Structure 1
């Protein structure tokens, strides 16, 4: 049914604009107001935050290490924000949990990419860093790990990847030299926990021992995840009657291993790497931890540049972890590089400039002077030997002996 047009109907006529002049004026005013607000945000520092990713084991049996790193990066970010932020913006940290698992690490990395982070501090373990590093490389996001020591990580040729720690082949060599020159063993047993970190450390140590005197090395054993085959390994080690046991792995298995070795009557000197040092190892091993030797970076308490930062940590959190300063300096170096590169957005070409600046940067941090080579490894990273004993100057349990022969204990 059709309707006849009435006198006030515009049907069939040329359609006119429905915008009245006063509406146009209001619309132009709103547009100009929006432009003014954007300019004002840029001038007053209220532009969108610069988001930095922190990723590591934030839950599970390694959650305490993850917490230390989260606190360290957070403290560095707060200090920058108190001084005006970064490029006129506030720094916001976004924390992801990789559960110390390779698959979860990749998933966490992809979430950080989607969040358009400007850089990543993490992961903690080599098992997580290795698979996740490809995700950051594809996105051009600068990644600085405070504790992943597997040599393969920086051998990939990723120009966006850096670390503030050393490499397993470096600390394995230091450990082997200490064992041979200070402990003078007749038999050495090597074992690892089957993680990429543990294998790399054990293999490097074994190669150095074989190079000097292959007759000393007896057997290499492997621990199953969680130490499920611990009893079988302990019996096999006891039968070898070693003077020195070298373990490639982390503190959880190391603590249980040392404790049960002593219960089995094995008195061999226990030596391991930086994945073990920390009060968690002492808690698990108990009195059996005393007299063990561990490779790590020089005691930060001996560095004047670390004193102020250490006090900040202790006043704020009450405790400092073994990798707190490494994460703190990683964040400081990243923020400094962003400030110098002045990227306009979290886009791949812009973020690649940040990595280029990092390669040219000499950063003075809590750990002293940090400088990276073409691979992203530190130039001349030091490793020393610590003896575990109550009252040690580092974390109250570890005393740097720097390769000196062990002192007699009364």
Structure 2
């Protein structure tokens, strides 16, 4: 598809380099695949939907610059960032320009405040809710001994607040939380401080260190029944851990890849591209669908009209929750899945070495009040 001036433009300020570069291609590919399907079906209001992707280098200022350029070129919405600080920096620009912003990730409770009107969560819930999901799952499996390693920066602190609220309040649960630097590469002191009989290891509060912590955990003799981590692209987990991925490794995620709807789309994606349809591909795919639906509802491809339509929408998608928003862009209802890895290929990707299945679905969460969290 050429860059026709009549195209409807979605700006994608993407993490294609820097520390989050493994995420950006999945998101970009999901956006482009959805746009292709939409255009094959007649486009939006008879116009082609085009995804304009630029590398934000996983850097807040670079992301802000690319977002401003995309808005200057007429983007009706902006998406793409992964890191919370990148999303927050882009939010300042899109709110000022009054252009809808749909960050793919950004789990900091500070991503939104009660004054935001053009920013809408899509693929990451606020950090405390991941701790809440962990607490619900710990109760579900009946674990008695819980441990966590939490990173010493804003996201980790928010996650630790969630542990205080949703995990330590569980009757009869023994808990121990160790703090570690965000950039640490040796966690042996934190791991040796933990009791030998932990049944559940929670690494959702240290997403950067997870693939270092897990092997070191096994090396020091800790072998919990379940170890949970953030919802990273699934192949990253397998590339890092290999066949050890079935040693109780779980993810807390917004997507259940075993639903019929997901399998159908993932199968079609493989047949057309030969590629794996990862949950992060889903986030891009759903975001493009949401913007297209909002444009159709609005009857025009104008940022203000699109923003108003998103504010009023209830959009069912491949995510575990409908996309419906309160006045400051928080999801009115959401839930999370606990996914477990297994060593076999999924039905929609015969070349795969692993698949995931949902072990547990949380209760529905109400919108987080940003004034109550760091």
When the two structures are superposed, what TM-score results if normalisation uses the length of structure 1?
Answer: 0.76
State how far apart, in whole Å, the 1-side matches of 2:90 and 2:34 are: 24
Q: Provide the secondary structure at the position in 2 that maps to 1:206.
A: helix
Q: Distance in 1 between matches of 2:342 and 2:153?
A: 27
Quick check: 350-359 or 395-404, which moved more? Answer: 395-404
2:132 is aligned with 1:173: yes
Q: 1:99 aligns with which of 54, 57, 62?
A: 57
Contact 1:58 1:64 in 2 (8 A): yes
Tell me what 1:311 maps to.
267
CA shift at 1:399, angstroms? 2.3
Determine whether 1:228 maps to 2:166.
no
Shift of 1:258: 0.5
1:162 is paired with a residue whose SS is: coil
2:215 to 259, 263, 266: 259
C-alpha distance in 1, partners of 2:328/2:296? 22
How big is the shift at 1:403?
6.5
Instruction: Give the secondary structure class of the aligned counterpart of 2:315.
Output: strand
Aligned to 2:239: 283
1:200 to 158, 181, 198: 158
Q: 1:117 aligns with which of 70, 75, 79?
A: 75
Contact 2:255 2:337 in 1 (8 A): yes
Q: CA deviation at 1:214?
A: 8.5
How big is each residue's C-alpha offset from its partner over 1:162-211, in whole Å with a ceiling of 9 and x where there is no partner?
Answer: 1223333323212112223414223x332223454444334312321222
Moved over 4 A (4+): 249-252, 392-395
In structure 2, the CA distance between the partners of 1:387 and 1:364, relative to structure 1 (3 Å rule), is: closer
SS in 2 for 1:62: coil
Pair 203,296 (structure 1): closer, same or farther in 2 beyond 3 Å: same
Q: Within 1, Cα distance between the matches of 2:216 and 2:180?
A: 16
Distance 2:172 2:77 in 1: 45
Q: 2: CA distance between counterparts of 1:365 and 1:403?
A: 17
Deviations 1:261-319 (A, max 9, x none): 111212234533433461212221234432123221352331x3334321232121421
Number of the residue aligned with 2:31 = 73
Gap change, CA 1:203 and 1:190, over 3 Å in 2: farther
Separation in 2, partners of 1:270, 1:98: 35
Q: CA deviation at 1:354?
A: 1.2
- Considering only aligned residues, what root-mean-square deviation do their CA atoms show, in Å? 2.9
Deviation by residue 1:16-62 (Cα, 9 ceiling, x = unmatched): xxxxxxxxxxxxxxxxxxxxxxxxxxxxxx75322211123112453
Matched residue pairs, number? 351
For residue 324 of structure 2, what is the aligned residue in structure 1? 371
SS in structure 2 opposite 1:205? Answer: helix
Structure 2: how far apart are the matches of 1:235 and 1:126?
31
Matches of residues 320-399 of structure 1 in structure 2 within 5 Å? 320-343=277-300, 350-367=302-319, 369-391=322-344, 396-399=354-357
Does the 8 Å contact 1:256/1:285 carry over to 2? no
The CA distance in 1 between the partners of 2:127 and 2:346, in whole Å, is 24
CA contact (8 A) 1:102 1:131 kept: yes
Cα distance in 2 for partners of 1:250, 1:48 equals 44
More helix by share: 1
State the partner residue of 1:297.
254
Residue 215 (structure 1) shift: 7.0
Gaps of 5+ in 2: 363-374
Aligned to 2:201: 245
| 8 Å Cα contact 1:291-1:389 kept in structure 2 | no
